[in-house]
């Protein structure tokens, strides 16, 4: 479970971001909003990359407001640059198990298992530079799997993928999330991509969460004028 | 090719001819009597051994010191004074070597701070800073900050997510170094090492002042001595050839690596980075680095204060040197800036993107923009020093030649500062200017001058800093009564008026600091 209470960060140029949000255990929430509204900042606050000026962040029942990123029960998949180019695929995944990971024994078995779950068996010795965008995202997902953290954050995970890869990756994410019961937050520019993945959507506007609701309802009948503007839906429907 | 390419082509052709004629003059001075047998002489062998030894150890020590400093500075983005420390790393690059020598002697010399402290602690030790150890110390003082800054920039240019990922995976301490930082830096080290090697092979002022004798001399110093004291042009020509071969070999190595590493702003803003506790070893690294860099600068100020300022300011020679330095440096800086502008205009506006002429031009642009690394100012000066024998009005010609050499020396730095701003302006305003018919001087006055005024001012200030502190070319032409501030300092040192020399060094240092501060302020406004 994720709970943000008045979680606030002030930037000199970008302004103030203040979030209140609650996501239930095993729930999948999509986060949408215009560029600069604060979607990625929200994820970075939860992951611990952006420190709070005030407010709290509770993760899996514990106050984690001041915890370092590695101490939080979170895995995160970024839009790009998810892999260390100088390390092979197995080590990239294995670092999710331990910073002292060696390619042997039980940890390596876990890596093979995770790679097979994302459809990349036999990719252990490949270098990230030889992978396609979709394969690289799958490796990142395999690392998230071996980390076995209850919360998965995805920041624009489809941005670097072509249309067919997007649907494959969405399907894979959806299965993983349901099988493992992970709490998942996905930031995306394209609301339609979240349709099959998230049962709920949060709309971020002007550094705050303006509205949260059922995905279908939010997209078909926007409950907030700014969301209607963002989706390009005529104002008379709001 | 368009008309806008012509000034740039003329600049490259002019500078190219200037370099070629200098080398030709050297070769002709050697003539058929190039003393090749001297290549095997014990003195030449000792020059080669010392040049290579000091360069190798300077590189090694600079990199070994810079590595932990860059790692600590990259890991800790938000401690008090970090920004000042990073700025301090850029300072030695602009500091005239002759000025730094005073600070280093005051700290590490026989009567310096370290010797005094050691004696106070009961050790009967007096450090001797002249010789290999002095040259190494000075080279590390200049190149450790350069290496640290290049490594830091390289780390900062990695995608921010790389380090966020490392944070999330708990990569810290040694595992962070082995898994992430070292692999990233290892690929970058040959470029950094090559650049430092090149600078150390071409080092002149530091070896001249701290070498301490013929056994600790490099080819650069030997060329100077052959011309100024032995007047043996053939030997100077021979040593110039050796020097060019040495520097050329390293330059080829560097080019194969993809050029010298660049020093640019980082990608991960300090405000984005997490604060992490600064451990004991990190504090130690920072403390030692600050002491090593700041102590000579502080000593320079304190040492300079002991000069008899009343008498110093009453010296006609001082005012003449200030005037000469300012005229030469300002002319060189203006020439370098205008030449860079012409070269950039030609490059970005003068040719069709796909034309073969552009490829030829790019080759010339790259050559003139980096030639100073392979052909040091002293070598250029030496060529022209030999060529101008017997010419009328030697003082005036000498002044013009020093201006040209200094402008050429500043060119790579000026181009590097002006090029990004010029390219950005071009991307933004090129089509717009064309659509309203702004070309030639109109475009310069309406678009280039207002938009690029600040980057140009920064470039001008850096060129001024480099030129005003140069000793290489000016030292040779001192024979023609061309006395700049660095030459005056050298002369005062030679006549054992160390306090006066320290006072003049402080004046020169303060002038350079003021220019750097002004340039940094302008740079901040731009960026």
For residue range A89-132, what is the model confidence (pLDDT) as tens digits? 999 999 888 888 889 999 999 999 999 988 899 999 999 989 98
Report the distance separating Cα A159 and Cα A134, nearest Å.
10
Percentage with pLDDT > 70 across chain B:
92
- Average pLDDT of the segment spanning B360-389: 80
Which residues have CB under 8 Å from A42's CB, separation 6+? A4, A17, A19, A21, A31, A187, A204, A209
Q: Nearest-5° angle of CA A225, CA A229, CA A234? A: 85
Q: What is the nearest CA distance from A99 to chain B, expressed in angstroms?
A: 6
Using a cut of 0.80, tell me whether the model's pTM lies above it.
Answer: no
ipTM comes to: 0.71
Q: Higher model confidence: residue A36 or residue A236?
A: A36
pLDDT tens figures, B301-350: 888 887 788 888 888 889 999 999 999 999 999 999 999 999 999 988 88
Whether A11 shows a pLDDT value over 90: the answer reads no
Three-class SS state of B481 = coil
Look at B1 and B351; give whichever has higher pLDDT. Answer: B351
Which residues of chain A have a CB within 8 Å of the CB of B159? Answer: 80-81
pLDDT, tens digit (0-9, with 9 covering 90-100), for B53-109? 999 999 999 999 999 999 999 998 888 888 888 888 888 777 888 888 888 998 998
Instruction: Note whether B165 contacts A68, CB cutoff 8 Å.
Output: no
Of the candidates B94, B479, B183, B282, the one whose C-alpha atom is nearest the C-alpha of residue A91 is B183
A51 and B275 in contact by Cβ < 8 A? yes
Q: Of all helices (H) and strands (E), which one includes residue B518?
A: helix B498-526
Distance of alpha carbon B114 from alpha carbon B128, whole angstroms: 11
A86 to chain B, any CB pair closer than 8 A? The answer is yes
- Please indicate whether residue A213 or residue B471 has the higher confidence score (pLDDT): A213
CA distance B332 to B407: 5
Residue B93 contacts residue B145 (beta carbons within 8 Å):
yes
Residue A156 has a pLDDT of 87
Query: Which of A208-222, B85-99, B400-414 bottoms out in mean pLDDT, i.e. has the lowest?
Result: B85-99
What average pLDDT does chain B have? 84
Asked if A78 lies within 8 A of B168 by C-beta distance, the reply is no
- The secondary structure of B5-20, three-state, reads HHHHHHHHHHHHHHHH
Q: Across the strands, what pairs with A213?
A: A201
DSSP class of residue B213?
A: S
List, for residues B159-182, the tens digit of each pLDDT value: 888 888 898 888 888 889 999 999
Write down the H helix ranges in B257-315.
280-305, 309-313
Kindly indicate the confidence band of residue B419, based on its pLDDT and cuts at 50, 70 and 90: confident
What's the CA gap between B256 and B250, in Å, rounded?
10
When pLDDT is averaged across residues B353-365 and rounded to a whole number, the result is: 83
**pLDDT given for residue B31 in this prediction:** 67
**Are B473 and B380 a contacting pair, CB within 8 Å?**
yes
What's the pLDDT at A170? 86
Q: pLDDT value at position B267?
A: 40
Instruction: Report the gap between the CA of A44 and the closest CA in chain B (Å).
Output: 9
Check pLDDT > 80 for residue B526. no
pLDDT of amino acid B270: 42
Report residue B416's pLDDT band, with 50, 70 and 90 as the boundaries: confident
Which is more confident, B124 or B332? Answer: B332
Interface of A with B in 100-119 (CB under 8 A): 100
Which of B15, B10, B6 lies closest to B403 in space, CA to CA?
Answer: B15
- Of B447, B449, B454, B507, nearest to B319 by C-alpha is B507
Compare all CA atoms of chain B with the CA of A46 and give the residue at the minimum distance. B168
Whether A90 and chain B come into contact, CB under 8 Å, resolves to no
Give the A:B interface size as CB pairs under 8 Å: 67
Minimal C-alpha gap between A115 and chain B (Å): 18
DSSP strand pairing (A200-205 vs A28-32): parallel
Substitution target in B78, B160, B168, B173 with the highest count of A β-carbons within 10 Å is B168
Q: HEC profile for chain A?
A: CEEEEEEEEEECCCEEEEEEEEECCCCEEEEECCCCCCHHHHHHHHHCCCCCCEEEEEECCEECCCCCHHHCCEEEECCCCCCCCCCCHHHHHHCCCCCCCCCCHHHHHHHHHHHHHCCCCCCCCCCHHHCCHHHHHHHHHHHHHHHCCCEEEEECCCCCCCHHHHHHHHHHHHHHHHHHCCEEEEECCCHHHHCCCCCEEEEEECCEEEEEEEHHHHHHCCCCHHHHHHHCCCHHHC
Interface of B with A (CB under 8 A): 159, 161-162, 164-165, 167-172, 175-176, 179-180, 183-184, 187, 271-272, 274-276
CA angle B232, B29, B17 (to 5 degrees): 130
Phi, psi of A206 (to 5 degrees): 55, 45
| Per-residue confidence (pLDDT) for residue A124, from 0 to 100 | 94
pLDDT for residue B275: 63
The mean per-residue pLDDT over the stretch A186-209 comes to 89
Q: How far apart are CA B156 and CA B338, in angstroms?
A: 32
User: Nearest Cβ partner of B272 from A50, A70, A76?
Assistant: A50
- Give tens-digit pLDDT for B247-285: 888 878 777 766 556 554 334 444 455 567 778 888 899
Measured over the CA atoms of residue B231, residue B237, residue B242 and residue B248, the dihedral's sign is positive
Interchain CB contact of A92 with B (< 8 Å): no
Task: Please report the pLDDT score of residue B158 as a whole number.
Answer: 84
| pLDDT level of residue B45 (50, 70, 90 thresholds) | very high
Q: What is the pLDDT of residues A20-70, one digit of tens each?
A: 999 999 999 999 998 889 998 999 999 988 889 999 999 988 999 988 888
């Amino acid at each position: 479970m994720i709970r943000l209470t008045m979680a606030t960060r002030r930037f000199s140029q970008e302004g103030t971001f203040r979030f209140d949000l609650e996501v239930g255990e095993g729930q999948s929430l999509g986060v949408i909003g215009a560029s600069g509204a604060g979607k990625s900042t929200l994820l970075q606050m939860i992951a611990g990359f952006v420190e709070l000026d005030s407010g709290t962040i509770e993760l899996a029942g514990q106050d984690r407001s001041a915890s370092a990123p590695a101490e939080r029960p979170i895995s995160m998949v970024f839009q790009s640059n998810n892999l260390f180019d100088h390390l092979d695929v197995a080590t990239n995944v294995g670092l999710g198990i331990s910073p002292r990971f060696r390619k042997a024994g039980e940890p390596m078995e876990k890596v093979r298992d995770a790679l097979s779950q994302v459809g990349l068996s036999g990719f252990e010795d490949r270098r990230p530079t030889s992978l396609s965008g979709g394969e690289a995202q799958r490796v990142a997902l395999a690392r998230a799997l071996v980390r076995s953290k209850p919360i998965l954050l995805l920041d624009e995970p489809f941005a670097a993928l072509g249309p067919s890869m997007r649907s494959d990756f969405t399907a894979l994410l959806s299965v993983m999330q349901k099988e493992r019961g992970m709490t998942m937050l996905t930031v995306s520019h394209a609301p339609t991509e979240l349709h099959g993945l998230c049962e709920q959507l949060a709309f971020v506007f002007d550094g705050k969460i303006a509205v949260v609701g059922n995905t279908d309802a939010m997209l078909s009948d926007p409950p907030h004028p700014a969301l209607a503007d963002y989706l390009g839906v005529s104002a008379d429907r709001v | 090719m368009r008309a806008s390419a012509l000034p740039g082509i003329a600049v490259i052709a002019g500078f190219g001819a200037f370099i070629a004629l200098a080398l030709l003059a050297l070769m002709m001075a050697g003539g058929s009597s190039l003393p090749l047998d001297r290549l095997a002489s014990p003195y030449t062998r000792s020059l080669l051994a010392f040049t290579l030894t000091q360069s190798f150890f300077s590189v090694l020590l600079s990199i070994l010191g810079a590595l932990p400093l860059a790692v600590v500075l990259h890991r800790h983005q938000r401690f008090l004074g970090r920004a000042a420390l990073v700025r301090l790393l850029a300072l030695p690059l602009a500091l005239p070597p002759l000025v730094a020598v005073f600070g280093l002697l005051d700290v590490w010399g026989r009567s310096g701070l370290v010797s005094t402290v050691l004696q106070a602690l009961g050790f009967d030790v007096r450090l001797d800073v002249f010789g290999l150890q002095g040259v190494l110390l000075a080279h590390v003082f200049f190149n450790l900050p350069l290496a640290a800054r290049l490594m830091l920039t390289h780390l900062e240019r990695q995608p921010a997510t790389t380090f966020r990922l490392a944070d999330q995976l708990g990569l810290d301490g040694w595992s962070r170094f082995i898994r992430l930082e070292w692999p990233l830096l290892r690929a970058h080290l040959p470029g950094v090492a090559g650049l430092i090697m090149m600078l150390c092979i071409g080092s002149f002022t530091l070896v001249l002042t701290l070498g301490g004798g013929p056994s600790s001399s490099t080819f650069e110093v030997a060329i100077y001595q052959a011309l100024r004291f032995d007047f043996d042009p053939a030997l100077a020509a021979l040593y110039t050839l050796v020097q060019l071969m040495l520097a050329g070999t390293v330059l080829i190595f560097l080019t194969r690596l993809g050029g010298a590493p660049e020093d640019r702003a980082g990608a991960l803003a300090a405000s984005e980075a997490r604060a992490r506790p600064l451990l004991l070893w990190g504090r130690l690294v920072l403390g030692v680095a600050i002491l090593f860099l700041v102590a000579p600068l502080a000593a320079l100020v304190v040492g300079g204060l002991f000069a008899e300022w009343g008498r110093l300011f009453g010296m006609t020679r001082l005012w003449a040197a200030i005037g000469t330095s300012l005229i030469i440096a300002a002319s060189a800086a203006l020439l370098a800036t205008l030449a860079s502008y012409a070269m950039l205009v030609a490059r970005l506006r003068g040719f069709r993107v796909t034309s073969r002429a552009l490829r030829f031009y790019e080759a010339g642009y790259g050559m003139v923009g980096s030639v100073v690394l392979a052909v040091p100012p002293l070598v250029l000066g030496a060529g022209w020093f030999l060529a101008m024998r017997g010419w009328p009005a030697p003082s005036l010609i000498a002044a013009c030649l020093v201006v040209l050499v200094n402008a050429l020396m500043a060119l790579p730095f000026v181009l590097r500062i002006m090029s990004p701003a010029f390219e950005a302006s071009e991307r933004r305003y090129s089509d717009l200017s064309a659509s309203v018919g702004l070309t030639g001087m109109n475009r310069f006055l309406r678009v280039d001058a207002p938009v690029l005024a600040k980057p140009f001012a920064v470039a001008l200030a850096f060129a001024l800093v480099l030129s005003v502190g140069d000793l290489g070319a000016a030292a040779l032409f001192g024979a023609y009564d061309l006395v700049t501030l660095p030459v005056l300092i050298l002369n005062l040192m030679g006549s054992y008026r160390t306090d006066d020399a320290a006072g003049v060094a402080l004046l020169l240092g303060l002038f350079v600091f003021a220019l750097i501060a002004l340039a940094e302020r302008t740079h901040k406004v731009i960026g």
